[in-house]
Structure 1
Amino acid sequence: MKGVLSLALAALLSVGQAATLPSQAVLSGTCCPGAVWSPDSRGLLFLDGPPARAATGIYQVGAGGGAVTRRFSSVAFFSPLLRWAVRPGAGDTTTLERLSDSRRFTLPTRGADVTWNRTETRLAFARSDTTGNFDRRLTRVYVADVFGAPRQVATLYGGSVSGWVNDQTLLLSGKAQPGARDRELFTLDVRSGARRSLGQALSFRGVSLSLDGAWVVYYVAFDSQARNGLWLRPTAGGAARKLDAFGSYRWRDAGRLLLIPLRPDGSPHQLREYRVKEATWRTLGDLGDQVRQGDWSVSPDGQRMAYLSARDGNLRVLKLP
């Protein structure tokens, strides 16, 4: 009986009284929303300038805090591996610069960023009409190898590029006709043109591919009861899983999804982890704080999490269990 009571108490504590995860402020003064991790997971990059810094630029601070240094003197869209700077220009033209040798080429992205494959040797971008209801706007999707000419691979209405499943397969969402009610989430082989439908809904929100491209997570709202909710689906085809949760989520690695459940009562945010292979949840702990405006990220190595504190506006880092 004593063992049963101990297990019951442990289960109660894991759900209702999760231990607080210790965190450290690495930046203070509410300066730095939208900080992102460096590719090596050793630091965080953020945009800042006067009066806090002498000049506007992209700055970096270590994952454990310490000195702040300027990483880039110019502002641009930087690729995830920090190999490229994407610099919008006047009109349609955007210049892409390889940082290792300053070699450049241009694409007609109309000032938008591009979506890189994992090796940053190929990219995709979308060009949408600039007037009219978004649900009916024509969007053309293009792909290009670096230093190569763009090639159109798809036409959508009210659509977008969600990412690269692998080096030759895009994940897209959109409508086939402007008057259609539903959007389709599908993969597209950019070489053969083969498509695989993953689902239909009024809208797909928060679409996010796992790090290996094998899974996609998204949520559906304001649709039918059968469609609404948080969903996990294999990109190679197969049944979707409806996850019994709602909140803000990020991939920790190829097989683990982190989620911060919605807490409208203002209590500290909890951090939960879903293991895809086992189809199980566990609570990692609470933050002793709330995340401000969904501003949090996971380091590329899956070992740390950074978040903007709702309590004091500081950028904080914690080690993940």
Structure 2
Amino acid sequence: MPVTQEQATWFADAFEKLVGNVDKAILGKSHVIRLVLTAMLSDGHVLLEDFPGTGKTVLAKALANTLDGTNSRIQFTPDLLPSDVTGVTIYDQGKGIFEFHQGPIFASIVLADEINRASPKTQSALLEVMEEGVVTVDGVGHSVGSPFMVIATQNPVEQAGTYTLPEAQLDRFLFKTSLGYPDHKTAVVLLMDSANRARASKVSPIIASDSVTTMAQLASQVYADESVMDYVSRLVTATRTHKDVQLGVSMRGAMALARATKTWAIASGRTFVTPDDVRDLAVPVLAHRVIVDPESDFAGVTAEDIIQRILLDVEPPAYRAA
């Protein structure tokens, strides 16, 4: 059933409270916090790629603390095994049966720290669970429950001993974004409080797991006009035919953008999606799904540049607020 304005107003108010709560740990980064929360309420995952010491891990911990549910942290290393992530089946001699022992992936919020340091075999262990919310061990499927979100971090500078995430893995992330360095005013505030090395611990739970599921269901019912979805389709098609692109955005990426825009819209207190919602989220949703042509990449063209260019070239539909 359609979302009412009263429901949209309630959702937006709850969303702002969540942003404010996480902002206690990460100052001056409300836009990134909104993106991460939008991913959580869209049943998606986030990849944070940034320089060391910018607060990637603090943001993930703060979000985990905001949710009154389970959370875990997996420090990815080259010797990490898939079973260290998913869990393992062990024979219990006393009971005479095999029992499954859950790995750290069984949590509401999972922080995958420095994910590109793990081997491709271990990275691939996340593919199924990120897409379907199920871990299969010895032929038996185990649900991780709902809500479930992976926040992965990676460092773009220290590439020695790392394994680049394959395209199939990147496609599982709803957003790819970065925090960046704080502005001068925020930096001074952080320096004045430099003795506090556990800022994420200031964040206390303000939302239950069931409420997250309810909000996600509500967001999925936001109205999206056919003209807006046509706009999404044209943007995605343009990534596949662009001269600087070797591989464009998949249908999974297009559906991810459509899903995320609904949450973005209701978080703004609206019951419908606008072309501006699509434009706001196009770069964080689509850019990491684009493979730039090697020659263009050598010339300095980035995936973000390509998406921005496409946004200028593809005409959005006109809309009229109800």
Please state which band the TM-score falls in when normalised by the shorter chain.
Answer: under 0.3
Larger strand share, 1 or 2: 1
Task: Name the structure with the higher helix share.
Answer: 2
Based on CA coordinates, which of the two structures has the bigger radius of gyration? 1
TM-score if structure 1 supplies the norm length? 0.24
Larger relative contact order, structure 1 or 2 (CA cutoff 8 Å, min sep 6): 2
TM-score (norm 2): 0.24
